[in-house]
Structure 1
Amino acid sequence: MNLCYIGLGSNLSQPQAQLLQALRMLNHPDIGRLVRCSSFYTSKPMGPQDQPDYVNAVAAVETDLSPLDLLRVLQAIENDQGRVRERRWGARTLDLDILLYGQQVIELPDLTVPHYGMADREFVLYPLYEIAPALQMPDGQKLTSLLANCPANGLLTLLDSNQVHDALAVC
């Protein structure tokens, strides 16, 4: 099993419900096992500001899927939940990104791991730190170093990890 970190984001069609549904899907035997999920956070959108704020989280998932197979599954989940790709950094029902896949460095036309923008994104680093504070990047850099150089930019906790866990248990 490979331990992967998946970034989740949504700002359309009941974002909290979108993230909860995606987490349920990630915990499917054909995909993997949800090991842990961060709190849900609200963040300002990247890029165009003419859209609602986002709800973001990071999940730790163990999977036997290859990186490309995992990417295909994540894209299928996005599509099943109504994802439409109209513009870069536009509003979306669901965005699922492979942030880390074990300690692998992957550079393929369709997939870059570690995720190319994670070092600059508070809505990735703060939730990731919450569930993996001792994490070290494949290049040896500590997550705490990345976090020290990334301001919170108004990131707020919407649901703490216990509330997320409880919401998943109810469904």
Structure 2
Amino acid sequence: MVTFGLERRAVLSLGANLGDRVATIDAAVRALDTIDGIRVLQRSSAWESPSWHPDGEGLTPDYVNIAVLVGTTMEPIDLLDATQAVEDALGRVRNERWGPRTIDIDIVTIGGIEHAEDRLVLPHPRAHERQFVLQPWLEIEPHAELPGRGPIAELADYADGDAWRLE
């Protein structure tokens, strides 16, 4: 694994809509924090949002989502590999785009890095459109900005979809 040597802040968006959603997200956060090169700094409370599918909303169970702020010394692609290993360990199956999933971990941003290749685009190309990303992130970093898009508080005012804090 290649490292920068210097720690950068990254924002991860975690979601689950199968099984015990909250327990799976908690397990994912614990697993991330045990990986060399990743330090969990802060996490949001749990938020719920309707599932989305190209054939219509509500075809699969609602999602539970959180945002996690981590410090990482990893290269972006190494962080992606690490998050996908956590997903795999928690039973993630990748057989349908937009399908239901036990866990999904998206890298929203890493520092101010812009990165574009087949496997990873940074910042996440649709984060600015998603309440289930913006609301949990806003909770833990209210003055944050999404590189190339602006303050997340302003983005949340215009983003589509619903997200509500889970009781």
Q: TM-score, normalised by structure 1?
A: 0.87
**Which aligned runs of 4 or more in structure 1 are off by greater than 3 angstroms?**
none
Could you say which residue in structure 1 is the equivalent of 2:3?
Answer: none
Question: Residue 85 of structure 1 is aligned with which of 94, 99, 102?
Answer: 94
Q: Which amino acid aligns with 1:128?
A: W
Structure 1 residue 149: Cα displacement? 0.8
Structure 1 residue 13: Cα displacement? 1.8
Structure 1 residue 88: Cα displacement? 1.2
Structure 1 residue 29: Cα displacement? 4.8
Q: Which amino acid aligns with 1:158?
A: L
Could you say which residue in structure 2 is the equivalent of 1:75?
Answer: 84
Could you say which residue in structure 2 is the equivalent of 1:8?
Answer: 14
Aligned-pair identity in percent equals: 34
Structure 1 residue 7: Cα displacement? 0.4
Structure 1 residue 151: Cα displacement? 5.0
Structure 1 residue 150: Cα displacement? 1.9
Equivalent position SS for 2:64? strand
Q: Which runs of 5+ in 2 are unaligned?
A: 1-6
Question: Residue 21 of structure 1 is aligned with which of 20, 27, 30?
Answer: 27
Higher helix share: 1
1-structure distance, mates of 2:34, 2:8:
15
> What are the superposed Cα offsets for residues 66-119 of structure 1, whole Å, 9 maximum, x if unpaired?
100000011111011000112111100000000011111111111001111111
Could you say which residue in structure 1 is the equivalent of 2:139?
Answer: 130
Question: Residue 50 of structure 1 is aligned with which of 51, 59, 63?
Answer: 59
1-structure distance, mates of 2:65, 2:18:
12
Deviates more, 1:36-45 or 1:139-148: 139-148
Q: 1:140 to 1:117 in 2, by over 3 A?
A: closer
* Number of residues of Structure 1 aligned to a counterpart in Structure 2: 158
Could you say which residue in structure 2 is the equivalent of 1:94?
Answer: 103
Q: 1:140 to 1:82 in 2, by over 3 A?
A: closer
Structure 1 residue 152: Cα displacement? 5.5
8 Å contact from structure 2 (residues 44, 140) kept in 1: yes
Deviates more, 1:68-77 or 1:39-48: 39-48
1-structure distance, mates of 2:13, 2:20:
17
2-structure distance, mates of 1:136, 1:119:
10
1-structure distance, mates of 2:74, 2:149:
24
Higher strand share: 2
Residue 166 of structure 2 corresponds to residue 158 of structure 1: yes
Equivalent position SS for 1:51? coil
Deviates more, 1:27-36 or 1:81-90: 27-36
